[in-house]
Amino acid sequence: MEQSEKESIMAASGEASREFKTLVDAEDLDSLKQLQHLILGRLQDSNAVLSHFNEYSENCFAEFSGDISRNTRLLKSMKSDLDYVFQKLRSMKSKISATYPDAFADDSTTDIIDRRPDLEMPKERPSISQRERCRKLGQVVEERRQDKMGEAKKDHHF
């Protein structure tokens, strides 16, 4: 390109940029800039709070995961022990019934022996009152979480 073409392009671009500047008020640009800085600050604060919460959650999980897995193993062991006990009771009952047919005259005792809920079957849908209680509990938990986040923000001055 020749020097004169470059100069004419520079002049044209300068004129176009001056025209664009007249379309937008400088105060509006400053206002937008301030709002962007305010939003940036809030996002940085939120990011810091979330990072702090993630670290806290990670520490809590690390602290309790051993207990949870140990308790889970214990519950599974207890369930298998109880299943074995109930199996033996049913076996004993059938042997006693075979030997002494009059020992269990009515069938009411069958209900008494094994009243455990079947954990393999899907639960019934919760009633409206149960759902309402769960919803209220969720609201309370959310309010407490927000209160704690507010306290954490005050304590740590992010």
Q: Rounded to an integer, what is the distance from CA 81 to the centroid of its chain?
A: 33
Q: Which residue has the higher pLDDT, 130 or 143?
A: 143
Q: Work out the pLDDT band at 53, boundaries 50, 70, 90.
A: very high
Residue 146 in tokens: 């927000």
**Cβ(93)–Cβ(113) below 8 Å:** yes
**Cβ(134)–Cβ(126) below 8 Å:** yes
Residue 31 in tokens: 């206002």
**Cβ(71)–Cβ(91) below 8 Å:** no
Predicted local confidence at residue 74, as pLDDT: 95
Each residue's pLDDT tens digit, 84-97: 999 999 999 989 88
What is this structure's pTM?
0.40
Q: Is the pLDDT score of 151 beyond 80? A: no
